[in-house]
A and B are shown apart, each in its own frame.
Chain A
Amino acid sequence: MLRTRLQPLHPIAWWCWAGALAVAASRTTNPLLLGLLLAAVAWVVTTRRGNSPWARSFAALMRLGLIVIVIRVVVQVLFGDRVPGATWFALPSVPLPSWAAGVTIGGPVTAQAAVGAFCQGLQIAVILACFGAANSLASSFRLLRCVPAGLYEVAVAVTVAISFTPQVVLSIARVRDARRLRGRATSGLKGWRGLAVPVLDGALERSVALAASMDARGFGRRSTSPRRRQATAAATLGGLVGLGIGLFEVLDSGSASGLGLAVVLVGGALVLGGLVAASHGSRSRYRPDRWLVAEWLVVLAGLAAVAGVVAAGSNDPNALVQPLYPLALPAGPVVALAGILAATVPSAIAPIPAPLRAKLRGAVA
């Protein structure tokens, strides 16, 4: 099957790609590899994101990542373990009573402590950037469109909730403005106290209007009986919960315990049964996202980064960490570098979103 001009890449493919890169980042604190991962993610985002408001989430999460790095380093310098090494400078230390053992305030700050903290902060920042990239490339709205029919109601609730939050922020601003127009305090405890009721009131009115509009457009009109629908939804949700708990049990203990495995199997069966039973509904889908060659390639590109980093680690575990004793430049394992390079492939093969294409055409013309 060929891709039509308007069809964007499947959102699940983008989320898999970004998830794989996040996994790769979680395996290493080598600042060289982390920096390259970040560059790869940023490059793909800038070349392949659309112009929806969600496309800006990458920048927002990058900023958040920066804050994380700063906090991580500052906390280490002020309260962290006193790591041995070459002292950069010393802060006045506060002696703590014996019951607070393990906590220190101030003291000598070594280069090793600062660099180590920076690398850990960078790792979290890169994982955040991957999440931001997924949101920029395929918004949560588009991801939610892919949920199976059995979970449709849940997906609608989540969609409404996501679009609801910005409305509440606007509504709070409006109520604060109105308070000022009446000559009342807008800051401090007094200001906030008068806020809750009008904001909730507005939210309630909006919900009722939305419900009316959804009802008038045929929401909830099904040929299946409500009882059957509830049963399938319960089975699917219950199965998912079971699956989650079982998986945690299996992964946490490291060895597959009999009970955990059983819970996983039963949960999986429930989910499958629920989804199959619910897919006989009377809803249809507009332009369902299709899984074509490009989707496979994007997912493989993400997996290549993971494989590269893991392979580098099994060759030489030290290649994945920043050497601290002595402080030295981080290693650049070739196989990891190749994997990360492969992760940038989507910037060449993923379809360009239509609005961006129009802009590019305009720039050429």
Chain B
Amino acid sequence: MISFDRVTVNYPGASAPALANVSLAIEEGHLALVIGATGSGKSTLLRCVNGLVPHFSGGRLNGTVTVDGRSTEQYRPRDLADAVGYVGQDPDATFVADTVEDELAYAMENLGVDSATMRRRVEDVLDTLNLHALRQRAISTLSGGQRQRVAIGAAFTAAPRALVLDEPTSSLDPVSAEEVLASLARLVHDQGTTILVAEHRLERIVQFADIVVEIGAVRGDVRSGSPAAIFATAELAPPVVRLARVAGWSPVPLSVRDARRHAPELRHRLEASKGPATMASRGDRVANVKGLTAAYGPIPALADVTLDFHEGEVMAVMGRNGAGKSTLLHHLVGLRRAQRGSVEVLGRAPASLAASEAIRLVGLVPQDPGALLCAENVATECRDGDRDGKLAEGTTRAMLESLVGGISDDTHPKDLSEGQRLALALAIVLAPEPPLLLLDEPTRGLDYGAKERLSRQLRQFAARGHCVVVATHDVELVAEVADRVVVLADGEVITDGPVRSVVCHSAGLASQVARILAPAEWLTVEEVATALLETQSEDRTPS
């Protein structure tokens, strides 16, 4: 259905090709998952399929890409619209119409599909993607998960044989993400659509994949094969696979359900260990929020929220899209003033401080860290950071160096990888040493390697006495870094407790390891690995 024959893509001005000598074939009706580190060329690969590379992006493509028997050399993206549907990373930037139905019909109108067929297909898609109740709603009033489904539907109504999706679930909460992925699975099963999807959070999608395409760190190192074969060795692997490697299961299970068959045996082995390490006691209070209530017009965002924040603690704030997580962070950092209730950081209200003073008390890395960066290159960005915070020259640069080494001074911030960009934003926010550090959805677009580095760094900041608050949907990150979890729903605090009890006892928020090993309370692969090493060494010592 989709085939790449020795494809090499060069962008003008780039030192290395974005894709080098890629050959692969995806059969009809398969769901192919593309994995690879950030910046490895996943998006380029996907955009080659419908000819956006090179027709739209510029650059030079050698070799041939064919879809449904048509080569992208002869066909422009618009001429392939009936063969391939493409859903980009940010659905908000791609809507043309203002209501759901009109958006769904847009591609068909361009293709000149007749009226009766159009209505039938729109009905089909409304049913398949469970959008029926939203058909006449304005798109701007939909939630993130609903918008993502509309974007998929809008690409799908033209009845393409293949669908290409670039990180469709990266900004969604676990439940919305499941909904979107279930819709994709239905398209594959019921309609025989070929799907090519890139995704970082493999734990969500790996069980649906028929074939996995791995783009290696070395350019041109692209392999494809069955999920079991690829994940037996792949560097980027979801927790279930890493747990299987640690426990020595074979063949490698890919879903929690498969893994649970091995679970009793592993639980038995783990009983011999001392159990997971308990968390350290927490320090003094850094900040507190009392009776905080906020609303956007008539829509309540926070309702009577009371929380304490402590030194040396990593706190995760979780909840559905729109549950009030970002609003809470915005109040803590002083972007919004409390309408009712109070917000205090070290006894002062951040919203009433001048910006230059506030950054010494509390720092926020926003959802898109790139928003903080506006200079021409990294060196200027760091110098500006020193000036804004009235710090000694070189402080920000040294902070950046300690987070991630080897970024050259004259790189433009837009040319950094996602992980590097996050590190630069973190360095700028951390340089004035604020006691309270907030991060809004920091793992969006990060691969497992970058995520692991981030987790380690967050633990280090906590160890140095910062209070770290992370608002996130990423349950695996929470399992790894958090001491304490606060769950918000419709602006109310539903749960506030230590990570182990919250994560292990919630259906929606459990990490993969917690699901596999329930009812035993294990959270991460690392914990299990450490415990297994312990038991092995104990076994050996007496003999």
Contact = CB atoms under 8 A, between A and B. Distances in A.
Given A194-B374, A284-B108, A218 B78 contact: yes
Interface stretch (A86-94, A106-114, A156-164): A156-164
Nearest to B89: A209
Interface string B342-375: 0000000000000110110001101000011010
A139 B98 contact: yes
Interface in A176-223: 177-186, 194, 197-198, 205-206, 209-221
Contacts of B284: none
A189 B170 CA distance: 37
B510 interface: no
A183 B366 contact: no
Interface string A247-288: 000000000000000000000000000000000001111111
Given A215-B78, A287-B119, A180 B358 contact: yes
Interface residues of B, number: 67
B355 A186 contact: yes
Contact of B110 (A206, A209, A283): A283
A183 B122 contact: no
Contacts of A54: 98, 138
Chain A CB count within 10 A is highest, among B99, B112, B119, B385, for B112
A212 B56 contact: yes
B15 to A, nearest CB: 23
A197 B114 CA distance: 45
Nearest to A6: B136
A216 B52 contact: yes
A240 to B, nearest CB: 24
A289 to B, nearest CB: 12
A345 interface: no
Contact of B122 (A205, A213, A286, A355): A286
Contacts of A139: 98
Nearest to B82: A218
B112 A220 contact: no
Greatest chain B CB density within 10 A among A54, A145, A177 is at A177
A102 interface: no
A206 B368 CA distance: 14
Nearest to A171: B371
B228 to A, nearest CB: 33
Contacts of A172: none
A217 B160 CA distance: 10
Contact of A217 (B93, B106, B138, B363): B106
Contact of A184 (B122, B154, B388): B388
Contact of B102 (A145, A177, A184): A145
A177 B428 CA distance: 15
Residue with the greatest number of chain A CB neighbours at <10 A, chosen from B109, B115, B122, B140: B109
A219 B122 contact: no
A52 B99 contact: yes
Contacts of A338: none
B118 A180 contact: no
A180 B107 CA distance: 41
A295 B428 CA distance: 61
B392 interface: no
A218 B158 contact: yes
Nearest to B117: A284
B88 A213 contact: yes
A334 interface: no
Considering residues B81, B158, B330, which has the most beta carbons from chain A within 10 angstroms of its beta carbon?
A: B81
Interface string B101-142: 110011111111111001100100000000000011110110
Nearest to B118: A286
A329 B82 CA distance: 68
Contacts of A212: 52, 56, 77, 86, 88, 94
Interface in A31-59: 50-54
A354 B136 contact: yes
B94 A210 contact: yes
A141 B356 CA distance: 44
A54 B97 CA distance: 13
A258 B335 CA distance: 64
B304 interface: no
A5 B374 CA distance: 51
Given A215-B78, A217-B155, A283-B112, A52 B333 contact: no
Nearest to B140: A53
A177 B78 contact: no
B153 to A, nearest CB: 12
A210 B140 CA distance: 16
Contacts of A53: 138, 140-141
A55 B172 CA distance: 29
A286 B78 contact: no
A181 B88 contact: no
Contacts of B112: 282-284
Residue from B94, B99, B102, B388 whose CB has the most chain A CB atoms within 10 Å: B94
A294 interface: no
Contacts of B101: 286-287
B93 A178 contact: no
A174 B364 CA distance: 13
A237 interface: no
A175 interface: yes
Given A163-B95, A180-B335, A206-B93, A185 B355 contact: yes
Nearest to B78: A221
A354 B335 CA distance: 39
A175 B370 CA distance: 11
Nearest to A206: B93
Contact of B138 (A52, A181, A205, A206): A52
B54 interface: no
B312 interface: no
B193 interface: no
Given A180-B355, A181-B429, A198 B333 contact: no
Contacts of B106: 217
B90 interface: yes
Contacts of A210: 93-94, 96
Contacts of A287: 101, 105, 115, 119
A197 B374 contact: yes
Nearest to B91: A213
B333 A181 contact: yes
A218 B110 contact: yes
A197 B413 CA distance: 15
Given A197-B374, A286-B109, 4 more contacts: A180-B335, A182-B428, A284-B112, A284-B115
16 contacts: A6-B135, A6-B136, A141-B97, A177-B335, A177-B371, A181-B366, A182-B385, A185-B355, A206-B93, A210-B96, A212-B86, A213-B94, A217-B78, A217-B81, A220-B110, A287-B101
Interface of B: 50, 52, 56, 76-79, 81-82, 84-86, 88, 90, 93-99, 101-102, 105-115, 118-119, 122, 135-138, 140-141, 154-155, 158, 330, 333-335, 355-356, 358-359, 363-364, 366, 371-372, 374, 384-385, 388-389, 428-429, 432
| Cβ-closest 4 pairs across A and B | A218-B81, A286-B105, A213-B94, A218-B110
Interface of A: 6, 50-54, 139, 141, 145, 156, 159-160, 163, 166, 174-175, 177-186, 194, 197-198, 205-206, 209-221, 282-288, 353-355
